[in-house]
Amino acid sequence: MPTYKTPDVYVEEISVLPRSVAEVATAIPAFVGYTEKDSHQQVSLVNKPRAVASLVEFESIFGRGPVTEVTELILDSAQNVVSATFDNKYYLYESIRLYFANGGARVYIVSAGRYRADGNVERDALADALDALRKCDEPTMLLAPDAISLSAADFAGLQQAMLKQCGELKDRFALLDLREADGWEAGKNAFRTDIGTKYLSYGAAYTPHLKSSMAREISYREVSAVIGNIRNQAESS
């Protein structure tokens, strides 16, 4: 209400109409990747964009992350764990955990299928899930965390497809990863060589990879699988 400082007759106009400009979300990401479940309530989730608003909702529909395979443990003289080596090729679940832990809201998920027993990631499966987003108008950012496990050629091909979709639809932007097996400098140079020259204004790549402080849930069953590859810290130096 306005504050009147002098006596007088005032006319106040009160609008009974709603705001002409509605508030809408301006950044809605869409993640493509493998999930624990490929169906929900007997309906397939594969290649079907679905929005979720929390990690709890994601887990109720798509399940949790893959079993973390511990391949090596390094112990100190008191038999405490100094470091561990993990083998994981599926990163979608951990990406969603980080997204919501950092204040993320509504997000689209497109399942490329269930985690495979052989741990492989297929470009065609990710590409099909990516194509499913063409008919979805709401997402404004595209991400494919599991693509990092593809071969160099397939990795570049999928990222080019992400840029192409963004460039053709002109309503979304691709966030891309770099392969850093040989260090981030080598990954940066390989990325610039392999990504091509088309639709580059519709994407951004980030390097080096970040290290997260979020703890993983690892059971003793997973650790027991590496009994033959447990070493003392002195042996590894």
| Residue ranges per structural domain of the chain | 29-66+88-207
Residue 22 confidence (pLDDT): 47
156: nearest Cα among 180, 116, 192: 192
Work out the average pLDDT over 73-81.
Answer: 78
Work out the average pLDDT over 121-148.
Answer: 97
Strand order in the sheet with 50-52: 50-52, 107-114, 29-35, 141-143, 173-176, 203-205
Q: How many CA atoms lie within 13 A of 37 on its CB side?
A: 15
Work out the average pLDDT over 73-98.
Answer: 83
Residue 204 confidence (pLDDT): 95
Instruction: Report whether the peptide linkage leading into residue 208 is cis, meaning its omega lies within 30 degrees of zero.
Output: yes
Global pTM reads: 0.79
Work out the average pLDDT over 75-91.
Answer: 78
Please report, as a single letter, which amino acid is at residue 85: T
Distances (CA, A) of 126 to 31, 114, 146, 173: 10, 12, 8, 17
For residue 53, is pLDDT > 90?
yes
Work out the average pLDDT over 130-150.
Answer: 96
pLDDT band at 11 (very low <50, low <70, confident <90, very high): low
Task: For the chain, give the mean pLDDT.
Answer: 85
Give the CATH architecture of domain 29-66+88-207. Answer: 3-Layer(aba) Sandwich (3.40)
Work out the average pLDDT over 184-191.
Answer: 84
**First-to-final CA distance of the chain:** 72
Contact 110, 129 (CB under 8 A): yes
Work out the average pLDDT over 188-216.
Answer: 87
- Which has the minimum average pLDDT: 26-30, 101-105, 145-149, 181-185? 181-185
Residues composing the chain: 237
Residue 229 confidence (pLDDT): 57
Residue 85 confidence (pLDDT): 73
For residue 223, is pLDDT > 60?
no
Residue 180 confidence (pLDDT): 75
Residue 25 confidence (pLDDT): 57
Work out the average pLDDT over 211-224.
Answer: 65
Q: Which residue has the tokens 């590894």?
A: 236
Residue 237 confidence (pLDDT): 55
- Which has the minimum average pLDDT: 64-68, 69-73, 152-156? 69-73
Element (H, E) at 129: helix 123-131
59: nearest Cα among 31, 37, 81: 37
- Which has the minimum average pLDDT: 37-51, 77-91, 212-226? 212-226
Cβ burial, residue 159 (10 Å; 0-12/13-18/19+): buried
Work out the average pLDDT over 177-191.
Answer: 82
What is the C-alpha to C-alpha distance for residues 104 and 96, in angstroms, rounded to an integer?
A: 9
For residue 87, is pLDDT > 70?
yes
